[in-house]
Amino acid sequence: MDKNILSIDIGTSSVKISIVSIHNNSYEIKSQSKCYYDTQRIRANNLPPNYSQQNVKIIFEAIDNALKSIKFDGQIDSITVCGQMHSCVLWNHRLFDEPFDPQNLRFDMISDNYDWTDGRCNEEFLKTLPKPDSFADKVSSGFGCATLFWLKRFKPDYLNQFDRCGTIMDWFVCLLCRLNIVSISIHNAHAWAYLDPIKPGWNLDILKQAEFPVHLLPKPVESNVIVGQTQFQWHSIIKPGIPVYVAIGDLQAMMFLAFKDNPDAIVLNMSTAAQICRLLVDKDLTLKIPRKSQLPIQSYDYYPFKNNEYLLVAPSLNGGNVLQSFMGFIQSTVKCLTNNDLTRTEIWEKLFHQFPTEFSNNDQSDEENFISIKPTLFGERHDLNSVFTVNISGGKQPSLFNIINCLCFELIQNVFNMMPNVSETIQNNFKQKIQTKLICTGSVIANNPILQRSLLLVIRRILYENNENKNNNDMLLLSNLLQSSLIDIEYVDKCDADVGCFILTKGAMIRRMDVNRNLMLFINGRPLPASSSISFSAIQIRDRISGRQIPLRIMARRVG
C-alpha cells in the first residue's frame, strides 16, 4: 500500500511543501507548493544592522498559504519537517492551552525567530562563554545556545516570560501536536552548540556552572523519532491523528538526497548561503572526530548525519544572499536614475541575455586582475571581522559585467578556500586520471550560467596552479573542462530539503522480515507478530501516571 508523506521545509526566505508517495523502495512527488516570505514584513524594525530576527507570524502565514495552495485529495500518513538548524524561538507553554485557531494564535506569547545570520554575539561576547564539551567546541553567533546566553545576560526580564524554546521547526511541530515537552533532533541540537552528539546529551554541568537557563532546553532525540500526532484539522490536508517526526536539519536532508546515489561526490550547495560538503562513513567505528579548536583552519565543521556517518561541511554565510543584495543595489540605482522599477528576476534575465560572448567562453583566462572583490558581505563564522570589499587598480573602469562576473567567481572561490582538502582531492584525482564527481545543488547555481562558468574557472585555477609541468598534455584538458571526462559536474535544481527530509526519515523504518522462521521477537515479554512493522528508534514506553519511561527489552527466542 502506498504511503503519503507531507514534508515541510521552513527555510530562511521561504516555506516549501511536498507531498510524496512511497511505494516499496521508490517514491513519487504528488504535489508541491512554495511560498516566499514578505521581505519587508518578516524582519524586525529598529534593530542594529548585525541583528537578524524574523517575525514568526509571517512564517506561520507562509506555511498556512502553502498548505492552502497545495493540491492533494488523498490521505496523509505521516509528516516530516526540516529547516533552519541554528534558529531559536521562545514561547510560553500556555500558547497551546486553547484549541487551535490559525486566525487567533497568540503571537504575543512567541518571540521572534533568531536566525542563523544573527550577529549580536560579537567576538568579545563569545570569548566570555564556556567551552563546549564536544567536537564542536567553538560557539558562533547565530547558534541557539549563544543567543540564549545573550538574552540571559542582556534581556533577562524578556527571557523570563518564556518557558519553552527550540528551532522554528520544533515550535511548529509542537504546534501541530500541541506538545508540552519540546523535542529537538540531534541535527539541530548539535547546531545550537553545547551538545555531545556521540552520547548524546547537553553539556548540562558546563551550562549550569555558567548560569545558563537549562530549564528552557528541549530534549535531544535521534533524528527519526515520532514525537506526537496532529491534534486538529488544518485546511483539507492535515487531519487529527497523523504521526509527526521530530524536525531535522535542512542541510542534512538536502545532502541525504545528494549523496544517496553518489556517496563519494563533492557537493556544492548554493542557496541563501553556500556550503561544500563531503560524506564521511565510519565503517569500523574507529573514526575520531577532531575538536573544532584543534583543526588547522577554523572554516569547516563536522555535522552528525545518520548512524555512523558524518558530514564534513564548509558553511559559508555568503551565497545567494550576496547576489540578492547586489541585485537590490542595481534595482535602487536604476530606480534613482530612470524612475523605472525592475524586478530582480528581470535584471538577471537582462544580464544573462546581454552577457558578452567572451565571458561565457571557458577558454578565457581567469577574472581580469584589475578588479578584485572580497564577497563576505555577511562575514564568516570563522572570521567575524571579515567584510565586503572591492578593489579596482590600473585606472581602468569596470563594466557591470566585469563586476558581476568577478563577484560570482569570488563567491565560488571563497567557499572552496574554506575546505582545502576538496582542492587537494580534485588535484590528486586529476593527476591519477580519476574522475571527480561534483554535484551542484540549489537553484541559485543550477539556473545561473555566470556562476556555472565561475565554477569552471575556479576548478581550472585549482588544477593549473598545481600542475608542475605547464607544457604537458594535461594542460590541453584544462583549456575546456567541459570536454574532460575527469571532471563530472552535475547541476541539480531539484534537490529540495523537504524531499530529502522524508527520504532520510523513511530510511529509519525497519520492517521485520521473515529471515529465519525459527525466531520469534519479544518486546517486554510479549511476542510480536511476524508481520509487524516497527521503527526501533520510535518506540517509547511510559507509565501513564508518573510519565516515567519504562526500560525497553527486546529479545529474539528460537522456537519450534
Model confidence, pTM? 0.82
Distance CA 553, CA 524 (A): 5
Query: Has residue 286 been placed in a domain?
Result: no
Looking at the structure, do residues 414 and 477 belong to the same domain, yes or no?
yes
Provide the pLDDT for residue 325.
92
Provide the pLDDT for residue 559.
39
Tell which of 246, 279, 308 closes a domain.
Answer: 246
Query: Has residue 270 been placed in a domain?
Result: no
| Backbone φ, ψ for residue 12 (5° rounding) | -75, -35
Looking at the structure, do residues 242 and 383 belong to the same domain, yes or no?
no
How does strand 266-270 pair with strand 248-249? unpaired
Tell which of 218, 246, 274 closes a domain.
Answer: 246
Q: In 3-state terms, the chain is what percent helix, strand and coil (to 5)?
A: 35, 25, 40
Looking at the structure, do residues 516 and 452 belong to the same domain, yes or no?
no
Query: Has residue 420 been placed in a domain?
Result: yes
Provide the pLDDT for residue 203.
97
For residue 514, the enclosing domain spans: 510-558
Q: In 175-256, at which residue ranges do the beta strands (DSSP E only) sit?
A: 183-185, 195-196, 201-202, 219-221, 226-229, 243-245, 248-249
Query: Has residue 291 been placed in a domain?
Result: no
Provide the pLDDT for residue 447.
86
Q: In 147-272, at which residue ranges do the beta strands (DSSP E only) sit?
A: 164-166, 183-185, 195-196, 201-202, 219-221, 226-229, 243-245, 248-249, 266-270
CB 501 within 8 A of CB 9: yes
Provide the pLDDT for residue 306.
84
Which cell is 3 given? 504511503
Looking at the structure, do residues 375 and 522 belong to the same domain, yes or no?
no
Looking at the structure, do residues 103 and 135 belong to the same domain, yes or no?
yes
Lookup result for grid cell 515550535: 171
Domain count, the chain: 3
Lookup result for grid cell 530606480: 335
CB 285 within 8 A of CB 366: no
Q: Which residue in 23, 33, 24 sits closest to 498, CA to CA?
A: 33
CB 29 within 8 A of CB 499: yes
Q: In 218-320, at which residue ranges do the beta strands (DSSP E only) sit?
A: 219-221, 226-229, 243-245, 248-249, 266-270, 274-281, 301-306, 309-316
**Which SS3 state, helix, strand or coil, does residue 434 take?**
coil
Give how far Cα 511 sits from Cα of 1, 3, 208, 508, 550, Å: 14, 14, 42, 10, 23
Provide the pLDDT for residue 175.
94
Provide the pLDDT for residue 1.
66
Looking at the structure, do residues 331 and 190 belong to the same domain, yes or no?
no
Looking at the structure, do residues 542 and 426 belong to the same domain, yes or no?
no
Q: In 138-283, at which residue ranges do the beta strands (DSSP E only) sit?
A: 164-166, 183-185, 195-196, 201-202, 219-221, 226-229, 243-245, 248-249, 266-270, 274-281
CB 168 within 8 A of CB 14: no
Provide the pLDDT for residue 365.
46
Report whether the peptide linkage leading into residue 200 is cis, meaning its omega lies within 30 degrees of zero: yes
Tell which of 193, 224, 246 closes a domain.
Answer: 246
Looking at the structure, do residues 122 and 63 belong to the same domain, yes or no?
yes
Kindly report the CATH number assigned to the domain that includes residue 20. 3.30.420.40
CB 93 within 8 A of CB 180: yes
Query: Has residue 283 been placed in a domain?
Result: no
Looking at the structure, do residues 408 and 528 belong to the same domain, yes or no?
no
Name beta bridge partners: 391: 372
Task: Write 473-482 long-range contacts (CB < 8 A, 24+).
Answer: 474/430, 479/363, 480/362, 480/363, 481/362, 481/456, 482/362, 482/456
Query: Has residue 429 been placed in a domain?
Result: yes
Q: Which residue in 140, 142, 155, 159 sits closest to 214, CA to CA?
A: 159
Distance CA 140, CA 152 (A): 17
Query: Has residue 299 been placed in a domain?
Result: no
> In this structure, which amino acid lies at residue 484?
S
Looking at the structure, do residues 85 and 132 belong to the same domain, yes or no?
yes
Looking at the structure, do residues 109 and 204 belong to the same domain, yes or no?
yes
Looking at the structure, do residues 392 and 482 belong to the same domain, yes or no?
yes
Residues near 433 by Cβ (< 8 Å), separated by ≥ 6? 486
Query: Has residue 396 been placed in a domain?
Result: yes
Q: What is the mean pLDDT of each run of 10 residues along the chain (560 residues)?
A: 89 91 83 88 83 94 94 92 94 84 86 92 94 92 95 96 96 94 95 91 96 96 92 92 94 89 92 92 82 88 88 93 93 92 89 66 52 90 83 81 91 94 91 92 88 90 70 53 78 78 62 32 44 40 39 42
